[in-house]
Structures are given as C-alpha cells and as structure tokens.
Amino acid sequence: MSVLLDVSGLERRFAGARGMGDMIARRPRPVVHALSGVSLQVQDGETLGIVGESGCGKSTLARCMVRLIEPDAGRIVFDGQDVLALDGPARRGFNRAVQMVFQDPYASLNPRKTVHATLAEALRVHRIVPEAGIAARVLELLDLVQLPASAAGRHPHEFSGGQRQRIGIARALSVQPRLIIADEPVSALDVSVQAQIVNLFMDLQRRLGLTLVFITHDLRLVRHMAHRVAVMYLGRVVETGPVAEIFAAPRHPYTQALLRAVPQMTPRELRGEPAVSGELPSPLAPPPGCAFHPRCPVAEARCARELPALERRGGGWPVACLRAGG
C-alpha cells in the first residue's frame, strides 16, 4: 500500500475575540491553537478513523485537508503533489480527487436547488459526463447511495436527515474522487440512521475502492469501520496505528482512558473508575509539555516540561507519550 495523503507538521491558529476592555488594557488578542503540529498518513484504499473530544481540532484538520482552511505551517502531500501550492486547473483537479462529506446534513445542501440540480452542477463544472448523459448519471448516483430515482426532482427539505446525508454523499461521489473526508457525518443523525449511513460508507468504500478519512468522536464507529486510527488530543495526534491492535492494547494514557469510556454491553466489563478526570484544557492556553499531563494518571514531573514526539518508542506503532515503551 502506498501513502495517498501525507500530512506533516500541520499548524493552525485562530485569533480569538478581543473585548473593548482587553484593547484598553493592551492585552494581546487571544490565540486558539486548533492544530499544533499534526502529522498523519492516509494509505491508498484504507479507512482512517480520526477520533478525539470536541475541540481537539478534528474539524479544522478536515477542513485544512480539503483547503477550506489554509494552515499556518506544515505540508500536505496528495499523491505526490504539494496540495498547498496547487493553483488554477491543478487545484480543480485536486478538488475532483478529494471530496468532503459534512456534519450537518441540513446546512450542507443548498435549500433552493433540487437534488438533480445539485448533482448536475458538479457533473457539469467538472465535465464528468457529456451534457446528454447528465440525467442518467444523476440517477446512477442516486442508486449508488440507495435513494429512489424520484428523489431527483425534489428539494432538500422534503428529505429526512439520513436521506439528506445520502444526497451529500452522492454529491461528493459525483466527481469520482479517490479520497473522501467525512467530518462527523453521522453525529447529527438518529442512532438507527447512523448505522445505515456507516454501512453505506463501508459498502461504497469496498465497491468503488475509495480511500476514506472518517472523523468522529465515537470509538465504536472507528472499531466497526476503520482499518487504522489516529487519536487526537488538543491539536496533536497522540497515537496512531492499526485499529485492532490499538483497541486491544492502547499505549497512550489518553487512548486508554477513551477506550474505558466506551459503553459496554455486559456488566462484567463495567468499571467504576472514571474514564478520564477533568475537562479538555482550553486551547487558548494549552498546558506546557505534554498537553495531556494535567489529566494523566501516570504523569511524571518531566511530562510538564518535555513535549513527547510521535514515535514508535519500542512498540509497533507511533505514540506521543514519554512513558510509553521504556
């Protein structure tokens, strides 16, 4: 397997709001560190799950990968091309190859366009099929996401959340991408519908040979559908590797805590201890050293000073913890 998307050292800061009082006191504008050096690889044909709590930078990472947000530093290489340097036709080629499915199926469809108009526009702009073939291709796309042909003439408000998400997936598929980045695509849906959409993603991935980056806060989804996983904490990847191995023997204390927090079906597996104490620190003022040390059960004095790099540390996959491996 080859690396399709290689992200290294990605950083992105956002300027926070500054009140009148701050300006008078000449306090500097607060800065949110959304991404503080994210590195990860996506292999061709795999599903990579990215997990983390709200506010850990997952969505910012997703939007950087499709260039909706420009990172402040770092590199993104897609299929040998430097993504951040792409311009003009090359950038449109990248747009064709890398598509996104959004979290909110209500806001991500233009309410004034019919399903046919939405899909046909993408087909036309990228000249995927000749004009005469557009109607037929739209029906194929609807069939691919298991929507009836009658859906083509209707507007988004006539569909349920799950059906709208299928339309969003059809729109992403319309340009025949190689990589789809799905940013929490099921977290806005009912649980019963979540399973259908997840299965649709898995089915499409197999049938079309897609590469999928699936961003979620739900570890059960990652275990169900991903081949590899990257665990994010406060703007960094803290552990990444094959799903089966990491779920069996997590090495980073944060991953261990997350896995303990997954609801269990059998009482035998229930544990009394809390998954992880405290809340995610503010990204306005990330703790020094390892960002997880204030909540970490095994933290030592050096964890507050040294920033652990994402390295193998004697194990089978990279982990960013000073106490892992040795």
Partner 1 sequence: MRAKIPLAIGCLLLAVMLAFAAVPGWFTPYDPLEFDFGALMAPPSAAHVFGTDQFGRDILSRTIAAARVDLQIAVFAMLGPLLIGGLIGLMVGWFGGVADAVFGRLADLVVTFPFLVLVIAVVAVLGPGLINMYIAVACVGWVVYARLMRGEVRVQSAADYVAAGRVLGYSTTRILFGHVLPNAIRPVLVYAVTDMALAILLGSSLGYLGLGAQPPEAEWGVLIADGKNFFTTAPWISLAPGIAIVMAGLGFSLVGDGLAALLDVKR
Q: Footprint of partner 1 on this chain (CB under 8 A)?
A: 63, 66, 68, 91-92, 95-96, 98-100, 102-104, 106-113, 121-122, 125-126, 155-157, 168, 171, 175
Distance of CA 249 to the CA centre of its chain: 23
- Smallest gap from Cβ 60 to partner 1, in A, equals 13
C-beta of 68 vs 304, nearer to partner 1 = 68
- Smallest gap from Cβ 204 to partner 1, in A, equals 18
C-beta of 159 vs 292, nearer to partner 1 = 159
C-beta of 100 vs 151, nearer to partner 1 = 100
d(CA 39, CA 217): 19
C-beta of 174 vs 194, nearer to partner 1 = 174
- Smallest gap from Cβ 190 to partner 1, in A, equals 18
C-beta of 119 vs 152, nearer to partner 1 = 119
| Residue 271, token pair as written in the block | 């544990």
- Smallest gap from Cβ 216 to partner 1, in A, equals 17
d(CA 68, CA 73): 15
- Smallest gap from Cβ 234 to partner 1, in A, equals 24
- Smallest gap from Cβ 79 to partner 1, in A, equals 16
C-beta of 169 vs 243, nearer to partner 1 = 169
